[in-house]
């Protein structure tokens, strides 16, 4: 059963209009060309719209809504391939809300709501998805001094972030550490080359970085954060699917071969309908997951719903991107064809936080 709140409906309308206006495909390409600098004006507008504070409690300067209420924003951004630090900052806020002390929340949540950029470092260079594969360590010397050592990968927007929430093992248990980027040595953050050129992705290499006790979060919730990441990436993918479908339908309705519009050929039409079905199913799973996220307290139920959504989105978006290239023929093989932007976005999204095969493996244990 899917429920959709007034807040979500309003955000959906606003976000669609905003993203369409602010991120036409030419602007996306120009940003790639320029090396994806942070668009400060755009970012400030998003801050002014209140998007950074949607999930942040009112006492910390936010709107105090549910993460599910941000789903329409991410869907709208995904539709236009708009990459901003909203994903990173929203996830970082979830880490703090779920795990931070009052002081930590007081210090950082109002800043995040006001537009300071925060991000999360979970995945490591081995590319494993599960949190039990984390090897970064929080060590304590005999004198009680703590240091953080490890290599993180795919840290979104780390290069423009003020703070990074780093996951690490302390003894046997996983912890979150608040790391101020101003306190990092030069070279700790390095830009990574990733397949989706709209992303600002970084590695983070920490070697015996001193950590004070007040940098360690008391809470140890990890699964909910991973699931939050999956939910938001799925929202982007749902939008991306709609975007690539529009590119395909546009081409099928204008390109002629053998004196006929290529959309009249069933070899093109039928798989395009399959993509439509995939997009419709992804969107349904997405809003189902959002509903469950808001209404359900049993984490296993939430996990099933979110993994089903991520599974469907990963499979359908990457397939739609793949077919999108093929259907453009020779043009599809060129950088100029917009289908590649979607395929490359789809591949990035597919492999972050578990592709469809991984999700099915998890679901197999959750479903029966």
Partner 1 sequence: MNENEISEFRSDVRAWLQDNKPAAPSFLLPETFMEVGTDQQFEFLRRWQQTVYEAGYLGMSWPEAYGGGGQPQVMQEIVNQEMAAQRVPFVPNTIGLNWAGPLILDMGSEADKQRYIKNILSAEDIWCQGFSEPDHGSDLGNAQVRAVKDGDEYVINGSKIWTSLGSYAKYMILIARTSNEGPNKYAGLSFFLAPMTADGIAPTPIKKLTGEYGFCQTYFTDARIPADCMLGNEGEGWSVAMKTLMFERGAVGGQAGGLSMMDLNINDIVELARRATRNGRPAIEDPLTRDELVKLVLEAKGNAAMGSRARIPALGGTYPTAVAMSAKLRSSELKRKMTRFAVSLQGANGARYISEDALDGGKWQRSYLNSFSGTIGGGTTQIQKNILGERVLGLPKS
Quote the least distance from Cβ 262 to partner 1, whole Å: 9
In the complex, the residues that contact partner 1 under the rule CB under 8 A are 1-4, 8-9, 12, 242, 245-246, 249, 252-253, 260-261, 263-266, 269-270, 272-274, 276-277, 280-281, 283-285, 287-288, 308, 311-312, 357, 360-361, 363-364, 367-368
Strand 163-170 and strand 173-180: the pairing is: antiparallel
Quote the least distance from Cβ 181 to partner 1, whole Å: 39
Q: CA 204 to CA 184: how far, in whole Å? A: 10
Neighbours of 312 (CB within 10 A): 25
The encoded tokens of residue 170 equal 């302390």
* CB neighbour list of residue 367: distance below 8 Å, 6 or more residues apart: 304
* CB neighbour list of residue 138: distance below 8 Å, 6 or more residues apart: 146, 147, 148, 168, 169, 170, 175, 177, 211, 216
* Long-range pairs, 125-128, Cβ under 8 A, ≥24: 125/151, 125/152, 125/153, 125/203, 127/153, 127/351
22, 108, 146, 298 from 213: Cα distances, Å: 42, 16, 8, 32
Helix H or strand E encompassing 332: helix 329-332
Q: CA 96 to CA 364: how far, in whole Å? A: 31
Smallest CA-to-CA distance from 19 within 326, 315, 235 is with: 235
Quick one: 106 or 254, whose CB is closer to partner 1? Answer: 254
Quote the least distance from Cβ 31 to partner 1, whole Å: 25
Quick one: 16 or 111, whose CB is closer to partner 1? Answer: 16
Residue with tokens 């050129």: 197
The encoded tokens of residue 227 equal 């699931």
Quick one: 137 or 288, whose CB is closer to partner 1? Answer: 288
Q: What is the DSSP string of 53-95?
A: GTTS-GGGTS----GGGGHHHHHHHHHTT---THHHHHHHHHH
Quick one: 75 or 197, whose CB is closer to partner 1? Answer: 75
Quote the least distance from Cβ 274 to partner 1, whole Å: 8
Quote the least distance from Cβ 122 to partner 1, whole Å: 25
Quick one: 6 or 103, whose CB is closer to partner 1? Answer: 6
Quick one: 285 or 351, whose CB is closer to partner 1? Answer: 285
Quote the least distance from Cβ 229 to partner 1, whole Å: 20
Question: Contact 290/310 with Cβ under 8 angstroms?
Answer: no
Q: CA 332 to CA 38: how far, in whole Å? A: 29
The encoded tokens of residue 260 equal 């006929």
Quote the least distance from Cβ 223 to partner 1, whole Å: 20
Q: CA 237 to CA 345: how far, in whole Å? A: 8
Q: State the DSSP code for 124.
A: B
Give the distance between the most distant pair of CA atoms in the chain: 81
Quote the least distance from Cβ 46 to partner 1, whole Å: 22
Quick one: 334 or 361, whose CB is closer to partner 1? Answer: 361
Quote the least distance from Cβ 86 to partner 1, whole Å: 21
Quick one: 227 or 252, whose CB is closer to partner 1? Answer: 252
Quick one: 10 or 40, whose CB is closer to partner 1? Answer: 10
Quote the least distance from Cβ 218 to partner 1, whole Å: 37
Quick one: 140 or 361, whose CB is closer to partner 1? Answer: 361
């Amino acid at each position: 059963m899917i429920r959709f709140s007034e807040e979500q409906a309003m955000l959906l309308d606003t976000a669609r209009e905003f993203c369409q206006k602010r991120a036409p495909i030419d602007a996306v390409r120009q940003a790639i060309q320029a090396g994806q600098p942070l668009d400060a004006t755009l970012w400030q507008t998003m801050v002014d719209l209140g998007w950074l504070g949607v999930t942040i409690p009112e006492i910390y300067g936010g709107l105090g809504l549910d993460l599910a209420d941000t789903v329409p924003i991410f869907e709208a951004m995904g539709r236009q391939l708009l990459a901003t630090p909203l994903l990173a900052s929203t996830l970082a806020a979830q880490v703090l809300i779920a795990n931070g002390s009052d002081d930590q929340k007081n210090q950082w949540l109002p800043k995040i709501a006001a537009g300071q950029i925060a991000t999360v470092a979970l995945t490591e260079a081995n590319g494993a998805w599960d949190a039990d594969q984390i090897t970064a360590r929080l060590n304590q010397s005999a004198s009680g001094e703590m240091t953080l050592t490890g290599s993180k990968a795919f840290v979104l927007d780390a290069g423009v972030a003020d703070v990074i929430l780093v996951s690490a093992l302390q003894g046997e248990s996983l912890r979150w550490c608040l790391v101020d980027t101003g306190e990092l040595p030069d070279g700790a953050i390095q830009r990574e080359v990733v397949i989706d050129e709209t992303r600002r992705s970084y590695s983070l290499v920490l070697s015996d970085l001193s950590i004070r006790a007040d940098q360690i979060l008391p809470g140890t919730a990890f699964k909910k954060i991973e699931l939050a990441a999956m939910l938001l990436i799925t929202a982007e993918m749902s939008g991306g699917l709609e975007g690539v479908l529009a590119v395909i339908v546009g081409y099928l309705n204008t390109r002629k071969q053998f004196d006929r519009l290529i959309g009249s050929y069933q070899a093109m039409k039928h798989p395009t309908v399959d993509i439509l079905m995939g997009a419709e199913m992804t969107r349904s799973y997405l809003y189902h997951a959002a509903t469950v996220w808001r209404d359900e307290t049993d984490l296993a139920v939430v996990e099933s719903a979110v993994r089903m959504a991520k599974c469907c989105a990963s499979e359908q978006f990457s397939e739609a991107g793949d077919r999108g290239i093929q259907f453009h023929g020779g043009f599809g093989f060129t950088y100029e064809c917009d289908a590649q932007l979607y395929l490359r976005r789809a591949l990035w999204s597919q492999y972050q936080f578990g592709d469809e095969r991984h999700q099915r493996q998890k679901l197999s244990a959750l479903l029966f």
